[in-house]
Structures are given as structure tokens and as C-alpha cells.
Amino acid sequence: MRIDILTLFPEMFASPLQASMIGRARQNGLLQINTVNIRDFALDKHQQVDDYPYGGGAGMVMKVDVLARAIQHVKDQPGRVVYLSPQGQRLDQTIVTRLAGEDHLILLCGHYEGIDERAMTYIDEEISIGDYVLTGGELGAMVVVDAVSRLVPGVLGDDASAEDESFAEGLLEYPQFTRPRSFAEMEVPPVLLSGHHEEIRRWRKKLSLERTLLKRPDLLLNRAFDAEEQSLLEEILFVRKKEKGAKR
């Protein structure tokens, strides 16, 4: 997968893109991630990338001619242009999974008060990483690169998988335990030590449903449940009802 990041601050990406699994994936050729300095496409002698808004008002607006040249430069191969801004669709794992299916992503990091509206004609979609305003879209681009890269086959490495993690099935991940078996009188759930893989799978599915119901019930609102999940939810709700009754 090729990712081009259009930014005014390429230096922000230097070490994060060399670290950990993303750095390794770049070395293995699984990921081709380039930073492109938008300022290189400002052709005037002052390399002006922004200007005062027509109609007055505070802040500066990024210039459409500069952005158009930068985008056209990286579209030597077809690619999907994603603009990071607070006005975009909120990033979630569904969007991440869709973007991970692209061969070439172009991430445009917005700045100042945003970009000249005419630049939107060169943009395929606008994505926000949350309802807050950052100093620049670079951190948004980093979040997209990280979340998308880990879904590229081979990036997570052999022993990790993206299949049953949080959000993978629209549920939060089940609780994890590792050695020591006993700590401060807290034991590992016996089922995990039983070696019964089917019982472990069912226990994990139940705990995923339970903690999603507890922490993020919104994720369950529009989700269809298979027969097993319906049965597990009935078990969970039955126990919770009993507990509530006992407390009265």
C-alpha cells in the first residue's frame, strides 16, 4: 500500500514512521509512506501557502492553487484523497477497514482556518478524528496511517491478528490475562486454563458482549446478533436482572 501525506510539517512524521511495526513494514516493502511538503508547490518567491480570507475574518486559508499542484503531483498513480478536518466524517473502524482496501491513499493535512473551498473538488472524502480542533491535521493523518497500516496483511506480524480485536466484529475485545496465574489473590478465570478451546471461545464472546453492553451500548444498537450471541445476551441480562433483584 502507498500512502502520501501532504503536510506543511513533514518533520512531524520522521520518527513516528520509523518506529515499531510501521517502520518494519516500510523496510519490508509492505508499506510505502511518503511525506510531501505542501510548501514545495508554492511557486512564488515567498512560497506562500495561505492567504487572508476573501470577505475578511480571522485566520488564514490554504491556497487552492498550491493544494491542487501538490495533489496532482502525488496522483502520478490513481489514489483516494482524504482531507483531515474537524468537519469530516468521524473516523471509526469501518472507515479504517474501507481505507485499508485502497492501493493508494493521499492524506491532506489541513491547517489554519482550513482550505479554499475550491480545493474540495480535488478531495474524495473528509475525515475527522474527533470533535475538537487541532493545530493541524498531522495528528489526524498519523492516526489514519496507524489504524490503516495495521490492517495491511503482514504488518501486524504472524502472532497478532486484527480479527478479534475491539471493533473487529462491532464489539469490544474480551478481557486478557497472562502470567502470573495468581496475583494479589486475583486468579485467572479457570476456563482460560482449561484447554477447552470451544468453551474459551464462547466465554470470550460472552465477555465481549457483556463489556460492550456495559461500556459502549451504542455499538449494539444497530448490530444484528446471531443465534449464539442472542443466547449469550439472554444469559447476561438474566444474571444482571437477578443481581439487581438481590440488591433490592
Under the binding rule (CB under 6 A), the answer on residue 23 touching ligand 4H4 is no
Scanning 154-221, the segments in alpha helix (DSSP H) are 197-215, 218-221
DSSP readout, 215-243? H-THHHHT----HHHHHHHHHHHHHHHHH
Identify the residue among 136, 164, 204, 211 touching ligand 4H4 (CB under 6 A).
136
According to DSSP, the residues that pair with 83 across neighbouring strands are 108, 126
According to DSSP, the residues that pair with 33 across neighbouring strands are 3
Q: Per CB under 6 A, which region of 81-89, 100-108, 157-165, 221-229 contacts ligand 4H4?
A: 81-89
Under the binding rule (CB under 6 A), the answer on residue 84 touching ligand 4H4 is yes
Q: Per CB under 6 A, which region of 19-27, 66-74, 125-133, 179-187 contacts ligand 4H4?
A: 125-133
Which residue number, 85 or 212, has a Cβ lying nearer to ligand 4H4?
A: 85
The alpha carbon torsion through 53, 58, 63, 64 (nearest 10 deg) reads -60
Total binding residues toward ligand 4H4, as defined by CB under 6 A:
17
Under the binding rule (CB under 6 A), the answer on residue 164 touching ligand 4H4 is no
Nine-digit cell at 125? Answer: 472524502
d(CA 128, CA 229): 32
**Residue numbers 94-113 binding ligand 4H4 by CB under 6 A:** 110-111, 113
Nine-digit cell at 34? Answer: 511518503
Under the binding rule (CB under 6 A), the answer on residue 137 touching ligand 4H4 is yes
> How large is the greatest C-alpha to C-alpha distance in the chain, in angstroms?
77
Which residue number, 38 or 129, has a Cβ lying nearer to ligand 4H4?
A: 129
Under the binding rule (CB under 6 A), the answer on residue 140 touching ligand 4H4 is yes
Which spans of this chain sit near ligand 4H4 (rule: CB under 6 A)?
Answer: 84-87, 110-111, 113-114, 128-130, 132-134, 136-137, 140
